[in-house]
Amino acid sequence: MKKSFFILSLIAIFAILLNSCTKDDDPTITLTVNPAGETTGWFAEDIVFDITINSTGDVELAVTNDHDSQTLTESYQSGESTTQFTYKIPNDVTDGQEIKVTFVVTDTDTDFSTTKEQTITIAAGGTGEEVVHEGTITEEETWAAGDIHIIRGALYLSGGTITIEAGAVIKLEQNARLVIGDQANTTFIAQGTESNPITFTSANTTPQAGDWKYIEFNVGITANTVLEYCKFEYGGGDSYYDFAIGIDDCNLKIDNCTFENIEGSALRIIGDEEMTSFTNNTISNCGSYPIKIDINLAHSIGTGNSITSADYGVLILNSTFSLVNETWRKLDVPYILESNIYIQNDNAQGATLTLAPGVTIALLNGKSIEVGDSYSGALIAEGTTSEPITFTSADAAPEAGDWKYIYFSEDTKSTTNLEYCVFEYGGGDSYYNFMVGLDDCSAGFSNCTFRHSESIGIRSYNSEFETFENNTIENCGTYPLTIFPDYVHTIGTGNTFTTDLYGILINDEGSYTLTTEHTWAKQNCAYIIEGLIDIESDNGSGAILRIAPGAEFHLKSGGGLEIGDSYAGTLFAEGTAEEPIIFTTNNTTPQAGQWKYIYFGGDTNPNTILDYCNVSYASENDYYNGNIVVDDTNNVTITNCNVSNSAGYGIYLMGTVTQPNDYTTDNTFSDNALGNVGLSK
């Protein structure tokens, strides 16, 4: 009895285990397909099915259809898997036709399977036959997506309307062109969708860039004219009209379009009318500039565009920017200037061009930019640390002097400001020998870089800087900066000048005449003086100049400072023991007598002082025979100075000077040819 019970128990346990294993081994497959059920599609449209599979075992997916050979076969391991199947509707279908797509998932061990069926209903007009378009269209036409459209020769749309269905393919024969407009009420609507674009392509079986000529839009098109989700390829084959799409003095909306494999330019945009919209377009593989555009229309290039070109940028046509205030956006390629550019307008507001952060302006050889040359104009170029604005050469192998200059003239608006800009490879004009120049105006520069100028980096001619801080000037052919004496104080702090032979040239064409005290700051290079600079004014109490500790002055032959010679002037040159103010020769091989002097005349104001200054290698003049000359004034205090290597005296006293202090006690002297302190006879 016990034995039988034991045997029955074993049989029961085995049955339970067997039943459990059988249930676990039964495969389960869940298949989800979206879109589900029926969907509608147009000729040439991509119908994308999203597929999700959940299975307990390894499976195989097979997708077929009852119309053509578009299939998919893939294998997946157990668990959840996702994939896509794209069915492109062929051109041999008709309106209302149905295509059944079958999805089968099979367990690879047991052949257990799950099936889904989806139906695509064709909803495209046309018959799939070839339709030739040529001559002139003056009425209303709809180009069905289900037809094959051929443009032959020259096709003109003049006063009529063409509406192209999404998904249509337009094939242009060799040298074909489409001209739209020149008559009022002309409308061209080519409005595809993201999944069902309209294609303009070559009719050749082996297409190449330049097979067809161009599509041109002219005056007369209506506001309904639009190009959206269109693809243009293999055009631009006209030697004169070297573009695929031309827009001449009319408004046009171009969004989400693709231009590729174009022999010339993708687009040329000229005239007085800007584009209504130009966003999210892609341009690549052009044989020339991707876009050619009038200077007063460049701001209508919108956002989200992708422009790819190894050798070209957006070519700016014509020379005068005259708009009140517009902005050029950052592009993937530079704006190329083919002409000398003028930013100005004779209206009350003038013209203002603003460059967005990250913009690059590339100038062709010998070209320049002039702001406020004859009428009011402003340039605002405010970049950032991560997105500087760059002015550079358009040459593939740039060199200093490739382009001429950026010139801010007397009608430049005071709103002109440049921050985080790079200026490079300019300075190539033999007369205007600078890369950036100011003439009788004011402008601000901060955090900018000036480099690889063939001549002067930046020249300020009778002009002041609104700001000039934290700039870097390097690798210039001559002086990094030249400036008039009255405006030296507008050179701020934080600047870096990298130069071996040159420094900041203080132009001797002007005297220092400011009656409010200003300071010439210490820079990391010397100030260069090549002529006599007068510090004096006939206004009020005269000119007042302060020189910061550590400032250094290199004087050329004939150079010097004259304080209070004809009118009142005050100089505060107060260095420190650690940072003396230096006045010395500009000659790389210093010798006594290589510059004139520091001269204090009879109109020198009281409290004028030289303290902790080093003055050397002067006394070029035999009459004013000293490094420092004090003539007819007792208003100068000279203390803690090192006066050396004079071709005459260290300090020379002239006229009615009564020598109010003992210069020999308060200063140090060495190697002065005629002695330390001399007194005229």
pLDDT digits (tens, 9 = 90+) for 618-647: 999 889 999 999 999 999 999 999 999 999
Which SS3 state, helix, strand or coil, does residue 335 take? strand
- Is residue 516 classed as helix, strand or coil in its secondary structure? coil
For residue 334, the 8-state DSSP code is P
Q: How far apart are CA 265 and CA 307, in angstroms?
A: 12
Mean pLDDT (the chain, rounded): 93
Sign of the torsion angle spanned by Cα atoms 201, 203, 204, 210:
negative
Q: Is the pLDDT of residue 659 over 90?
A: no
Interval 429-445: pLDDT, tens = 999 999 999 999 999 99
> What pLDDT does 44 receive?
60
The average pLDDT across 152-160 equals 96
Opening angle at CA 187, ends 183 and 193, nearest 5: 155
Task: State how far Cα 608 lies from the chain centre.
Answer: 49
Q: Provide the pLDDT for residue 124.
A: 64
Q: Which residues of 380-419 are buried (b: 16+ CB within 10 A; e: fewer)?
A: bbbbeeeebbbbbbbeeeeebbbbbbbbbbebbbeebbbb
The pLDDT score that the predictor gives to residue 21 is: 43
For 233, the token pair is 């390829």
Say which DSSP state 537 is in.
Answer: B
Read off the pLDDT band of 657 (50, 70, 90): confident
Q: Which candidate, 293, 296, 340, places its Cα nearest to that of 312?
A: 293
Q: Which residues of 475-488 are buried (b: 16+ CB within 10 A; e: fewer)?
A: ebbbbbbbbbbbbb
For the stretch 318-365, pLDDT in tens is: 999 999 999 999 999 999 999 999 999 999 999 999 999 999 999 999
**Quick one: pLDDT at residue 23?**
42
Average pLDDT over residues 148-161: 96
Q: Which of 279, 229, 232, 223 has its CA nearest to residue 251?
A: 223
Structure letter (DSSP) for residue 7 = H
Burial (CB < 10 A; 0-12, 13-18, 19+), residue 25, is: exposed
> Span 298-310, mean pLDDT?
97
**Cα 405 from Cα 332, distance rounded (Å):** 24
Average pLDDT, integer, range 492-509: 90
Q: Residue 596 and residue 628: Cα distance in Å, rounded?
A: 9
pLDDT at position 5 over 60? no
What's the pLDDT at 16?
A: 47
* Residue carrying structure tokens 């900066």: 481
User: CB 8: neighbour CB atoms within 10 A?
Assistant: 10
Chain segment 171-217, per-residue pLDDT in tens: 999 999 999 998 999 999 999 999 899 999 999 999 999 999 999 99
Strand order across the beta sheet in which 38-41 lies? 38-41, 113-122, 98-107, 59-65, 72-76
Give Cα separations from 238 to 199, 276, 286, 519 (angstroms).
20, 26, 14, 63
Query: Is the pLDDT reported for residue 1 higher than 80?
Result: no
327 to 223, 379, 384, 515: CA distances (angstroms):
24, 10, 16, 40
Rounded Cα gap, residues 262 and 573, in angstroms = 67
Residue 629's SS3 state is strand
The confidence band for 237, taking pLDDT boundaries of 50, 70 and 90, is very high
In this model, does residue 679 exceed pLDDT 80?
Answer: yes
Half-sphere exposure of 492 (CA within 13 A, CB side): 14
Question: CB–CB of 217/247 below 8 Å?
Answer: yes
Q: How confident is the model at residue 510 (pLDDT cuts 50, 70, 90)?
A: confident
CB 91 within 8 Å of CB 53: no
With beta carbons less than 8 A apart as the criterion, state whether 332 and 357 touch: no
pLDDT at residue 681 in the model: 67
Residue 388 has pLDDT above 80, yes or no: yes
- What pLDDT, on a 0 to 100 scale, did the predictor assign at position 22? 42
CB atoms within 10 A of CB 667: 23
> Is it the case that residue 2 has pLDDT exceeding 60?
no
Determine the Cα angle at 598 with ends 502 and 605, to 5°. Answer: 125
**Cβ distance 323 to 299 under 8 Å?**
yes
Q: Span 58-70, mean pLDDT? A: 93
pLDDT category of residue 499 using cuts at 50, 70 and 90? confident
The predicted structure's pLDDT at residue 127: 67
pLDDT band at 41; cut points 50, 70, 90: confident
| pLDDT(59) > 70 | yes
Kindly give the pairing relationship between strand 29-34 and strand 46-55: antiparallel
Residue type at position 462: N
Nearest 5 degrees, angle CA 323-CA 326-CA 327?
A: 145
What does the pLDDT read at residue 219? 95
**pLDDT, average across residues 120-127:** 73
Which residues, in sequence order, are bridge partners of residue 149?
131, 170
Average pLDDT of span 568-588: 97
